[in-house]
């Protein structure tokens, strides 16, 4: 019988490598399509190749890396179907979160979201704008007060951050991106369920269309 209640092992080197690689991918330090070499990563991390290999295998299981026979290991590039599928899941979570918020203190929630929008509006560069964008959506789900919704939302965190950073240069002006989030926050603050749902759908669809256009596949 498995002994689940046992001494806790310290985090392995492979886990640390996997986490660092995961963050590098999430924040765009390592972009989709990049080939990763065990030897080079081992040198940069200051570890042997074994933990690097195991860490890469973990990310491959998560779908962040892809191994191509006779070519090597690459950071996965999300195709059109994967983008659409991820946003279908995000849409389901965030629309549900919005409805939960509107059943409670939507005024306070709207004000909290508007504070993040203000941060977005005064951001110093595109990376800061993207991080404010992420905080907006994480906070929206958090304000729903559902631990399960939050856990589900967290599973898409790396892919979401990859997409959010990829969206940065698809807007003609920062004000357009800010306006979308401000309108959504204001609709929540006002308690308008129909408008909030409409704006959320439009926001998600707009992101999908921009990302697909960025891929150049129409």
Q: What is the pLDDT of residues 13-35, one digit of tens each?
A: 889 999 899 888 888 788 888 99
- Long-range pairs for 28-31: beta carbons < 8 A, 24 or more residues apart: 28/127, 28/162, 28/165, 28/166, 30/75, 31/75
Distance CA 118, CA 134 (A): 14
Q: What is the pLDDT of residues 97-140, one digit of tens each?
A: 999 999 999 999 999 999 999 999 999 888 899 889 999 999 99
Distance CA 10, CA 15 (A): 10
| Residue in this structure with the two tokens 């892919």, named with its chain if needed | 159
**Is the pLDDT confidence value at 48 over 80?**
yes
Q: Burial letters for 26-59: b for 16+ Cβ neighbours within 10 Å, e otherwise? A: bebebeeeeebebeebbeebebeeebbeebbebb
Q: Is the pTM of this model over 0.85?
A: no
Q: Which fold has domain 80-215?
A: 1.20.120
Distances 80 to 84, 209, 218 between C-alpha atoms, Å:
6, 10, 10
Task: Please provide the CATH number assigned to the domain covering 13-75.
Answer: 1.10.10.10
Per-residue pLDDT at 50: 93
β-partners of residue 65 are: 75
DSSP H helices in the chain: 13-26, 38-45, 49-62, 80-102, 106-121, 126-143, 147-154, 157-167, 174-190, 193-215
Q: What angle do CA 176, 180, 181 make, to 5 degrees?
A: 120
Cβ(157)–Cβ(201) under 8 Å? no
| Two structure tokens written together for 102 | 């509107």
Phi and psi at 74, nearest 5°, equal: -130, 155
Q: What is the pLDDT of residues 85-108, one digit of tens each?
A: 999 999 999 999 999 999 999 999
Lowest model confidence (mean pLDDT) among 7-21, 75-89, 202-216: 7-21
Q: What is the pLDDT of residues 2-17, one digit of tens each?
A: 555 655 455 688 899 9
Domain spans, the chain? 13-75, 80-215
Per-residue pLDDT at 200: 97
Cβ(112)–Cβ(186) under 8 Å? no
């Amino acid at each position: 019988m498995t002994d689940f209640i046992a001494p806790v092992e310290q985090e392995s080197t492979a886990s640390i490598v996997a986490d660092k690689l995961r963050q590098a991918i999430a924040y765009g330090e390592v972009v989709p399509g990049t080939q990763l070499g065990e030897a080079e990563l081992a040198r940069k991390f200051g570890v042997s190749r074994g933990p690097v290999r195991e860490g890469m295998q973990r990310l491959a299981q998560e779908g962040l890396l892809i191994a191509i026979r006779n070519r090597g290991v690459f950071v996965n590039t999300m195709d059109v179907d994967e983008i659409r599928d991820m946003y279908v899941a995000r849409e389901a979570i965030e629309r549900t979160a919005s409805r939960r918020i509107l059943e409670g203190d939507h005024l306070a929630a709207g004000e909290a979201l508007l504070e993040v929008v203000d941060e977005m509006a005064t951001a110093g560069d595109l990376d800061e704008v993207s991080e404010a964008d992420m905080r907006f959506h994480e906070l929206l789900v958090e304000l729903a007060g559902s631990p399960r919704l939050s856990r589900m939302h967290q599973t898409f965190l790396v892919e979401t951050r990859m997409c959010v950073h990829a969206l940065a240069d698809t807007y003609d002006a920062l004000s357009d991106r800010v306006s979308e989030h401000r309108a959504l926050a204001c609709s929540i603050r006002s308690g308008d369920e129909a408008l909030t749902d409409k704006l959320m759908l439009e926001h998600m669809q707009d992101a999908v269309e921009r990302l697909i256009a960025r891929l150049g596949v129409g």
